[in-house]
């Protein structure tokens, strides 16, 4: 019996290892594409607003470009290391570690979405303060518009990333984790093959 149990766990571990590893490889590719998207946005904004900052005369537009340049320096500082990390990541075949990493990824993007709302709100706050400070009106309006645009993009980006990872986890990882499930009497583990659990040939430990 002990030998049978050992063989059962060994075979089930091998059968689960490949789909889990495949899931993590797909997850890395998703992260790479997301970081490429963020990096492309940051690069385009950096170049366009860099030119605008250098050529536009003093005023609201100059402050707007200045905010965009500073903001996208940070975006590039996140996108480049993020892409390299995803590219070099070695996919694990451990189910527990995979599920923990999946939850962490989703929570990070969800938390970032909350920060993005704060960024957008701060941009509107700066604009509201512009009328009360004539000397810095152009700067406040320019910075405010920049924060609203950049925060709005990041909100869309983070919510999209969260949705993509959640969908991927729900439709790929959950199906894999359900291959092994508790038996109906709670005394052991039931090993499912494909979409149908064992019936006559169930093995309970």
Give mean pLDDT in consecutive 10-residue pieces for the chain, a chain of 205 residues: 42 63 93 97 96 92 96 96 94 90 95 97 95 90 97 98 94 61 45 40 34
Q: What pLDDT does residue 8 have?
A: 40
Residue 203 in domain: no
Residue 103 in domain: yes
Residue 152 in domain: yes
Is-above-0.85 flag for pTM? no
- Please list the residues that pair with 14 across neighbouring strands: none
**Number of folded domains in the chain?**
1
Q: What pLDDT does residue 179 have?
A: 53
Read off φ and ψ for residue 180, nearest 5 degrees.
-110, 125
Residue 170 in domain: yes
Q: What pLDDT does residue 2 have?
A: 45
Sheet holding 180-182, edge to edge: 180-182, 189-193, 196-197
Q: Determine the Cα angle at 11 with ends 180 and 103, to 5°.
A: 40
Per-residue exposure over 51-62, b if at least 16 CB sit within 10 Å of its own CB, e if not: ebbeebeeebbb
Query: 73: domain range?
Result: 2-197
Distance set, CA 74 to CA 32, 67, 70, 99 (Å): 18, 11, 7, 29
Q: What pLDDT does residue 19 have?
A: 87
Q: What pLDDT does residue 35 have?
A: 98
Residue 205 in domain: no
Q: What pLDDT does residue 201 have?
A: 37
Task: Sort 28 into a burial class: Cβ within 10 Å, 0-12 / 13-18 / 19+.
Answer: middle
Helix (H/G/I), strand (E/B), else coil: 138: helix
Residue 202 in domain: no
Q: What pLDDT does residue 196 have?
A: 41
Residue 138 in domain: yes
Residue 204 in domain: no
């Amino acid at each position: 019996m002990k030998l049978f149990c050992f063989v059962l766990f060994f075979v089930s571990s091998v059968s689960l290892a490949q789909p889990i590893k495949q899931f993590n490889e797909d997850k890395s590719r998703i992260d790479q594409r997301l970081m490429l998207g963020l990096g492309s946005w940051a690069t385009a904004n950096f170049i366009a607003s860099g030119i605008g900052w250098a050529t536009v005369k003093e005023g609201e537009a100059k402050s707007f470009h200045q905010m965009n340049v500073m903001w996208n320096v940070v975006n590039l500082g996140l996108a480049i290391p993020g892409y390299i990390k995803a590219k070099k990541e070695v996919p694990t075949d451990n189910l527990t570690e995979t599920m923990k990493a999946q939850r962490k990824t989703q929570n990070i993007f969800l938390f970032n979405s909350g920060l993005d709302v704060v960024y957008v709100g701060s941009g509107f706050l700066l604009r509201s303060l512009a009328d009360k400070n004539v000397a810095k009106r152009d700067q406040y309006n320019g910075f405010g518009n920049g924060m609203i645009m950049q925060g709005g993009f990041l909100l869309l980006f983070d919510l999209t990333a969260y949705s993509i990872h959640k969908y991927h986890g729900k439709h790929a990882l959950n199906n894999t984790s359900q291959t092994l499930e508790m038996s109906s009497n709670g005394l052991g583990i039931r090993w499912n093959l494909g979409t149908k659990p064992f019936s006559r040939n169930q093995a309970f430990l």
